[in-house]
Structure 1
């Protein structure tokens, strides 16, 4: 069984192991310099969200590209939606809220049924990335962030297609086209490609930030971090 595993002290969530399957990459890292690997339903990825917005602003000012790779925290779900798992989530979210200042709501924990399957939310981001081809990475991260907020603060259900309508339309995209792509086989393959790319990059925890340089890929940070240290690490790697 795939179980949710997060560490309150390190600011890390650990993804499920991938089943064996072939997939192709939809994202290209050829010209990418900063790579963020996360999952919209990873609670520490929500905790680090303000810092990543600042980092993205800094990268834009520096002319550094910024790409998002969906890591796949718990594709397919795992833990039974019972009192034990709900208590774990409540404690974990309270700890992250206290540590980071990010808002959390807990109404979803009163639901009788819910699947903590993170694949649909990842697929939504990958689908939006496909539709935004050539656009600023800021637009895609805004969608990623909006999914996080709607789940963690509004406690809406990201496994339902209707969850994404206001987010996609708010980004100026056509929801009918999004729906067609999102529910198709190609989007599932693209999403699987992201998960496998994350593993090939040897990412075993979220959130993770990597830098791609002329010398190869180096790790900037794994786990929760504030904006200033992240920006400092980027400057150290890309110092002119």
Structure 2
């Protein structure tokens, strides 16, 4: 478990974050010809949040694996902590892991969705206040709890600090880093917390069982280079939309799922590249799901158990009523967590 932040750590964290954002390695704002693309205006139709850049789909032909494939498939997942569409894809990703997780090496790459607010003009998103309404609008589409209040009350200047913090978490423990990322998403999307601030990041780290002192050290040390490597990989592949799921097999064949698509798209990607893949038996009860992950939303339960959203929500509310679950309730849905 991480230790509590020392006196003055918030100031030190902000200084480190500012240094990373000011680094020439990180793009600061879109170029003049790209300013009309707003990365925080995510399209529910495509299930993508798109960053500025040349038009075109992800170039799977440009991909070269750095290491031999150790599992039947490798999945390169391009995401961002503040990406509402990535949150919308959580139900599908959770089911994919439960059915095929033993056969897939899932590698997480940060996408750099919001370098800064400099240069945003035109389009539907011009300022943090515009994001607030947009998040509330997309929540019903994904059936996932999303509220935009953070953009009105304590807007984030960039998504780079929480992304770098995730890379720092990976240096400690890849499994705990995923718990950390999940907690980051819950904080910003449902609890209106600014996840660029050290106390908020420290809370997520402590929840995940990470050492916060080391996290802060790695944030200012090796993590920025790892984040830059993710950005470079995304650019080299032409990945601009998040989430992007790049599946590869040992033969070098590739398939891309763009955006928060229905689960059959993911199952089809696995079967296309690995016809011999057999889906594992999944939990069939809420208790079984809670043994795998500490927190669940109704749509996640519905997608995994194969029920309707309403049935899944009723299961969660009944369990909450019995005192088995705690919940964060928002106007657009809830997150339940085992006690």
For normalisation by structure 1, the TM-score amounts to: 0.82
- Corresponding residue for residue 212 of structure 2: 175
Superposed structure 1 runs of 4+ greater than 4 Å apart: 27-30
8 Å CA contact retained: 2:85, 2:259: yes
1:47 aligns with 2:88: yes
- Corresponding residue for residue 37 of structure 1: 78
1:119 aligns with 2:124: no
| Residue 198 (structure 1) aligned to one of 234, 238, 245 | 234
8 Å CA contact retained: 1:16, 1:74: no
Deviation of 1:84 (Å): 5.3
1:207 aligns with 2:243: yes
Distance 1:181 1:158 in 2: 17
The alignment covers a number of residue pairs equal to 223
Distance 2:98 2:140 in 1: 25
Q: What does 1:18-29 correspond to in 2, within 5 Å?
A: none
| Residue 236 (structure 1) aligned to one of 256, 272, 285 | 272
Q: What does 1:61-140 correspond to in 2, within 5 Å?
A: 61=102, 63-78=103-118, 79=120, 85-86=127-128, 88-111=130-153, 114-132=155-173, 135-136=174-175, 139-140=176-177
SS of residue in 1 equivalent to 2:108: strand
* Structure number with larger C-alpha Rg: 2
Residues 1:176 and 1:217: Cα distance change in structure 2 (over 3 Å): farther
Structure 1, unpaired ranges of 5+: 19-26
8 Å CA contact retained: 1:16, 1:72: no
Distance 2:235 2:253 in 1: 14
Distance 1:30 1:91 in 2: 45
> What is the RMSD of the two structures over their aligned residues, measured on CA atoms?
2.5
Moved more, 91-100 or 147-156: 91-100
8 Å CA contact retained: 1:128, 1:140: yes
Higher relative contact order (CA 8 A, sep 6+): 1
| Residue 11 (structure 1) aligned to one of 33, 47, 68 | 47
